[in-house]
Amino acid sequence: MLIVQKFGGTSVGSLERIEKVAERVLETVNRGNRVVVVVSAMSGETNKLISYAKHFTPTPEKREMDILLSSGERVTSSLLAIALNAKGQKALSLSGRGAGIRTDSNHTKARIENIDPTPILSALDSGNVVIVAGFQGVDEKGRVTTLGRGGSDLSAVALAGAIGADLCEIYTDVDGIYTTDPRIEPKAKKLDVISYDEMLEMASLGAKVLQSRSVEMAKKLKVNLVTRSSFNNNEGTLITDEDKIMEKPLVSGIALDKNQARIGLIGVVDRPGIASDIFQTLADANINVDMIVQTVGDSRGDNAGLTNLAFTVSRDELENAKKCIQKFQSKNEVQDIEINDNIVKVSIVGVGMKSHTGVASKAFATMAKEGINIMMISTSEIKISMIIEERYSELAVRALHSAYELDK
């Protein structure tokens, strides 16, 4: 078989761990497989590099960030190649550029445009284990780009698709996909299988065990994706097509996203096109807006002709979003900007919701019982999301986990 194995930050977090990864890769080779390995930076490394840059300014140039951040993955990929060669297994490492990963120029969250499989395939043909530095590519002009946080998952899935791998294994520090983050709720249960769509929602809604774009890509390219632990040999979780899953639970999991901030715009001039102007400005700055709420405009007194708007963005985009909105404040189209970064998003995910009623009301009742105020709500066919105060995060996750009997 042709297998792509991706090892995350904790799995390559020390020289001892890299040694263990080398042994694991070697076992896979010795069972007769051809192996491409994708590695993350050592755990904590990317955050450390970000904090270095932020020592100088809260908004460092994105192009420089990419050169800085891509270094972490180059360290682990070359070290793993050195470790394998030392064990007598031919291996070579490739950067994103070397592996033929071409992206657009959207620095710090670039999209993969295409992958030239030749460098990897020819290195495999010469009997190498090929190790690719995850999380990075190169744009048209030859500039290094990175693929967004957690982007090594995307590197692995995209490479698996490009070289036609039979299997893509994501090795991490938990046994697979759980009903919720096992670090928050120890009663969480490991799932044997989950559909691409549910996993996509879980990942987009904060379950950082897989990067959401990697799941999107796996679905599109029909990559056989398995998440498992690099610390043991337990079977992991298979992520696959919904039709291949016999028993569909009503709710599959609870996700928590702490990387959330809410921007409230008070006294917005209620003219046609204002919402479009505001959100276009944010879109032009590549800022993803998630939930949006507009309150009913006031037709009386001092507030006549004014309305209020609130929306959420990820916390790391808050500074840039604020800058965008300040333009409207200086044009007197927005009176006040209210920032709240003490909020989180808690979500319930399950394909079973499509055919059952009462799932949402149970979520609201559970929050009410715990005395948690819901600040914003949004729903789709297979998810319900609520914005709540950050201090209630763990309580909300555990209460919902038990309300939907996920611990049973």
Among 89, 93, 145, 180, the residue binding ligand ADP under the rule CB under 6 A is: 180
Q: Does 7 bind ligand ASP (CB under 6 A)?
A: no
Q: In whole angstroms, what is the distance from residue 152 CA to residue 171 CA?
A: 11
Distances (CA, A) of 290 to 322, 345, 376, 390: 15, 11, 11, 17
Per-residue binding letters, 62-101, with ligand ASP (x by CB under 6 A): ----------x-----------------------------
Q: Contact letters (x/-) for ligand ASP, 298-337, by CB under 6 A?
A: ----------------------------------------
Give the DSSP per-residue string, 5-68.
EEE-TGGGSSHHHHHHHHHHHHHHHHTT-EEEEEE-PPTTHHHHHHHHHHTT-SS--HHHHHHH
Rounded Cα gap, residues 171 and 236, in angstroms: 9
In single-letter form, the type of residue at position 349 comes to V
Q: Is 41 in the site for ligand ASP (CB under 6 A)?
A: yes
Q: Does 135 bind ligand ASP (CB under 6 A)?
A: yes
Q: Answer yes or no: are the C-beta atoms of 54 and 94 closer than 8 Å.
A: no
Give 173 or 370: the residue with its C-beta nearer to ligand ASP: 173
Q: Where are the beta strands (DSSP E) in 32-186?
A: 34-39, 91-94, 101-103, 112-115, 129-133, 136-138, 144-146, 167-172
134 binds ligand ADP (CB under 6 A): no
Q: Is 17 in the site for ligand ASP (CB under 6 A)?
A: no
* Cα–Cα distance measured from residue 405 to residue 329, given in angstroms and rounded to the nearest whole number: 47
Q: Is the separation of the CB atoms in 228 and 175 below 8 Å? A: yes
- Per CB under 5 A, 150 contacts Mg ion: yes
Q: Which of 79, 174, 200, 359 binds ligand ADP (CB under 6 A)?
A: 174
- Smallest distance from ligand ADP to CB 303, Å: 43
In the complex with ligand ASP, the residue whose CB is nearer, 159 or 251, is: 159
Would you say 62 or 189 has its CB closer to ligand ASP? 62
Is 178 in contact with 193 (CB distance < 8 Å)? Answer: no
Cα 44 vs. chain centroid, distance in angstroms?
16
Part of the chain binding ligand ASP (CB under 6 A), chosen from 24-32, 151-159, 191-199, 219-227:
151-159
Burial of 197 (0-12, 13-18, 19+ CB in 10 A): middle
Helix axes 118-125, 152-163, angle to 10 degrees: 70
151 binds ligand ADP per the rule CB under 6 A: no
Closest to 334 measured CA to CA, from 277, 292, 280: 277
Q: Which residue has the tokens 């693929």?
A: 147
From residue 17 to residue 46, the character string flagging contacts with ligand ADP as x (rule: CB under 6 A) and all else as - is -----------------------x--x---
Q: Binding partner of residue 236 among Mg ion, ligand ASP, ligand ADP, none, CB under 5 to 8 Å per kind? A: none
Report how many residues bind ligand ASP under the rule CB under 6 A. 13
Contact 103, 113 (CB under 8 A): yes
Question: Which of ligand ADP, ligand ASP, Mg ion, none sits in contact with 135, Cβ below 5 to 8 A by type?
Answer: ligand ASP
* Closest distance of CB 47 from ligand ASP, Å: 7
To ligand ADP, the closest distance from the beta carbon of 207 in angstroms equals 4
**Applying CB under 6 A, which residues contact ligand ASP?**
8-9, 40-41, 46, 72, 134-135, 149-153
**Applying CB under 6 A, which residues contact ligand ADP?**
8-11, 40, 43, 150, 172-174, 177-178, 180-183, 202, 207-209, 253
